Amino acid sequence: MNLSLPTLPDGRVLEVIHAPNHLLSVSGLPVDPVDPVVVQLCADLVATMRVSPGCVGLAAPQVGVSAQAFCVDVSAHPKTRTTHGLIVLVNAEMVEASRNDKGREGCMSIPDLTGDVKRATKVTVAGLLPLSGERVLITTDAFEARALQHEIDHCGGTLFLDRVVGAHALYPRKVYLAPPNAAGS
C-alpha cells in the first residue's frame, strides 16, 4: 500500500554530513509542514536519497539542518516485505512498537561501518505530510519499520552507533558497485 503524498517541488541534491559532526547528535526542531522552506527541504531530502546508491532513508540532520523531517523508501530493497512506497514525514513519532529483533544497519553519515541494532519488528508511526500538513498513521513491519525507526532516531539526535550493543557488533561496510554497462562507462 503506497502512501498518498502531495506532489513536492523538484529537489536539490545536498551534501550529507558525517560523524562526528555535532549536528548529528542534536535533536531536530519541530517544523511547520506547510512552510515552503520545509517543503523544499523535504524535496531535497528525497532528491539526495535517490542519487545515493543503496540509500533507503535520509533525515534533515544528515544534511546539516536541525529539523524533524525525513524520507524513507525501501520499495527497491531486497529485504523489504512491506512497503508504503515513498514516505516523507515531519514531526514524526513512534506511537506503538512490538518486540525487538536484531538486524544490520548502515548510514550515509557513517559511511565506513555497519552494525547490529535491536529495533521493533512492527511499528506504528504518526507524522505530518509536507505541503498539506495532514496527520498520517503508518503501521508497518520488518525492514520498513527498521528504516522508519532509524530516521526518527536521526531527528532525535541518535545515530545507529548509539544503539549498537558493542564493538563486536560493528563491521566494515561492504560497497557494492553496479557492474559497468555495455557502453563501458
For residue 153, the surrounding DSSP H or E stretch is helix 142-155
Catalytic residue among 93, 105, 144, 151: 151
- Three-state SS for 92-146 is EEEEEECCEEEEEEEECCEEEEEEEEEEECEEEEEEECCCCCCEEEEEEEHHHHH
Contacts of 12 (CB under 8 A, 6+ apart): 43, 44, 47
Catalytic residue flag (residue 151): yes
Per-residue exposure over 21-46, b if at least 16 CB sit within 10 Å of its own CB, e if not: eebbeeebeebebeeeebbbbbbbbb
Residues serving a catalytic function are 151
